[in-house]
Chain A
Amino acid sequence: MTRVIEVPAHFDDRSFDAFAGGFGEWPPEEKVLLDARSTQWASPYGLIGLLTAGQALAEAKREKPLLTVPTSDEVKRYWARAGFFHHAADLFELHGKVPRATTTGPSDVLLDVTPVRASEDVHSVVDKISEGASRILHGELGLEMKATLRFSMALSEACQNIVEHAGTSGWVAVQAYTFRRRLGRRVVVIAVSDGGVGFRRSLESTHAKRFGERWGDGAALEAALIQGVSRFRDPGRGQGLAFIKRFLDQWEGKISIRSGTARLSIIPPWDEDIPLSENLAYFPGAQVQIIIPAQGAEPR
């Protein structure tokens, strides 16, 4: 028996829940086939979500999943340019013709899909992003120059969450694109994902008691993002997400974190998302998305 899970045609943070629902009970007993043939577009969140699924299945000692690649040549080329297939080849049995990655692709990929396994990887990510980030954030999005460094700090802190809390490795990707549906402006999106223990299990031993019966994935996300708690007793911990949140307030940016069966978002005025969604389909680890929109532009 093979469980076929359709990758949404427009694969982003919103359609991710339907994708997660396809796995049923986690980890699924059957062999999994991820069918991306009809996929027309995937955000960085979608791309690294796919890799996280592949990695989490491998770590759950399940049979290597299959992935049928998009039919559209344009979509395939984009995924190749973003570095997706390079990593997917290790995690999936790929079906369909995969184009070779070229370096002359879209310049709005600020950071290819990149694995985050240790703090050295965080250094590499920050080193790699600095030049392109300045071009996009200052040049295209109209953010002040110092925003580039804040952006790099936010990226560093988000990636460190994997190294410090996930108990496994993860993925990061950064991309600029026009957010037509919700905003009508250019945005930069940071997506970070891992298939590790998730926020609830990471914080359980130190914080569950305080929440009593309310304790769960949603309460754990609230504790981390709103209250700035950490599993470490070190009083200097837990400041990273608070700092990111403060920056995003200034830029009308958005952060959303999905972990286990819940998603918590800090919602800017331009978005109509729900702050806390609970009882979602389970997906392992944590998936973080940070969106920074162009400043001062009227929505198109």
Chain B
Amino acid sequence: MIQTIRIGHLLREAAAAPYRNLVTRPTGAAVRIRIEEALAGSTCMTALLDFSGIELVDLSCADEVVAKLLLAVRTAYFVVLQGLREDHHEAIEHVLVHHRLAVAAMPPDSREPRLLGWVRADARRAFACVCDHGPLAVPNLCGVLRWPEPRGRAALNDLALHRLVRPMGELYHPLPTA
């Protein structure tokens, strides 16, 4: 089950004003608190944060909303971003790299998620492979990428640690996005 959270709606609710720009730390913190409240009251394991209609995401808000949320929910939820414009990526990527965090983002008009932030190169390749092929076990991944098993296991564990794939038994599933 996926819970879609509309950031634009939360922004206007948190600021009590018709803002379209996600700027300043107090605004970002207020939006994050509302996301956390929404997640606390939900039984869904995946949160789809929808940035449609947001004009600008500044660095402070990228840090307060995305980075701090990932740090806070690391063990409980899977987070996917959608509705991001190309220029939003830059601020989010910057803060995630700073914290050594990563998140999956669904580009508009595409079913292939994009990875924003910092992961090791092997984990990035494994992520693309899981998104491309669907659920994979370590031997399947190693077969596709022609890697020795320890390398494939380390890459998938890395992705699981970053909450970028969902481990279920022997299989590592891509995050649900629809």
Decide if the interface of chain A is mainly helix, strand, loop or mixed: helix
* Minimum CB–CB distance for A10 against chain B, Å: 34
Partner of B87, one of A120, A127, A130, A149: A149
Please report the C-alpha to C-alpha distance between residue A156 and residue B90 in the assembled complex, in whole angstroms.
15
Q: Is the CB of B24 within 8 A of A156?
A: yes
Q: Which residues of chain B are within 8 angstroms of A164 by Cβ–Cβ distance? A: 25
Q: Is the CB of A160 within 8 A of B87?
A: no
Q: Which residues of chain A are within 8 angstroms of B25 by Cβ–Cβ distance? A: 119, 160, 164
Instruction: Name the residue of chain A whose CB is nearest to the CB of B63.
Output: A236
Q: Which residues of chain A are within 8 angstroms of B90 by Cβ–Cβ distance? A: 146, 150
Residues of chain A from 114 to 134 with CB closer than 8 A to chain B in the complex: 119-120, 122-123, 126-127, 130
Please report the C-alpha to C-alpha distance between residue A235 and residue B64 in the assembled complex, in whole angstroms.
11
Please report the C-alpha to C-alpha distance between residue A156 and residue B61 in the assembled complex, in whole angstroms.
10
Decide if the interface of chain B is mainly helix, strand, loop or mixed: helix
Please report the C-alpha to C-alpha distance between residue A146 and residue B57 in the assembled complex, in whole angstroms.
13
Q: Which residues of chain A are within 8 angstroms of B56 by Cβ–Cβ distance? A: 126, 130, 149, 152-153, 156
* Minimum CB–CB distance for B90 against chain A, Å: 7
* Minimum CB–CB distance for A240 against chain B, Å: 6
Which bucket holds chain A's interface residue count?
20 to 34
A-B contact count (CB 8 A): 73
Interface flag for A32 (CB, 8 Å): no
Q: Which residues of chain B are within 8 angstroms of A160 by Cβ–Cβ distance? A: 23-25, 60
Q: Is the CB of A163 within 8 A of B24?
A: yes
Q: B78-115: contact bitstring with A at CB < 8 Å (1 yes, 0 no)?
A: 00000000110011001100110000000000000000
* Minimum CB–CB distance for A120 against chain B, Å: 8
Q: A146-163: contact bitstring with B at CB < 8 Å (1 yes, 0 no)?
A: 100110110011001001
Instruction: Name the residue of chain B whose CB is nearest to the CB of A232.
Output: B25
Q: Is the CB of B58 within 8 A of A153?
A: yes
Q: B34-60: contact bitstring with A at CB < 8 Å (1 yes, 0 no)?
A: 000000000000000000000110111
Interface flag for A239 (CB, 8 Å): yes
Residues of chain A from 176 to 235 with CB closer than 8 A to chain B in the complex: 235
Known A119-B25, A122-B23; 18 more pairs at CB < 8 Å: A119-B24, A119-B26, A123-B17, A123-B27, A126-B21, A130-B55, A146-B87, A150-B87, A152-B21, A153-B59, A153-B91, A156-B21, A157-B58, A235-B99, A236-B63, A236-B64, A239-B63, A243-B94
Task: Give B residues with C-beta under 8 Å from A.
Answer: 15, 17, 19-21, 23-27, 55-56, 58-60, 63-64, 67-68, 86-87, 90-91, 94-95, 98-99
Task: Give A residues with C-beta under 8 Å from B.
Answer: 119-120, 122-123, 126-127, 130, 146, 149-150, 152-153, 156-157, 160, 163-164, 235-236, 239-240, 243
28 examples of A-B residue contacts, CB within 8 angstroms: A119-B24, A126-B23, A130-B56, A146-B87, A146-B90, A149-B87, A150-B87, A152-B56, A152-B58, A153-B56, A153-B59, A156-B21, A156-B60, A157-B58, A157-B59, A160-B23, A160-B24, A160-B25, A163-B24, A164-B25, A235-B99, A236-B63, A236-B64, A236-B68, A236-B98, A239-B59, A239-B95, A239-B98
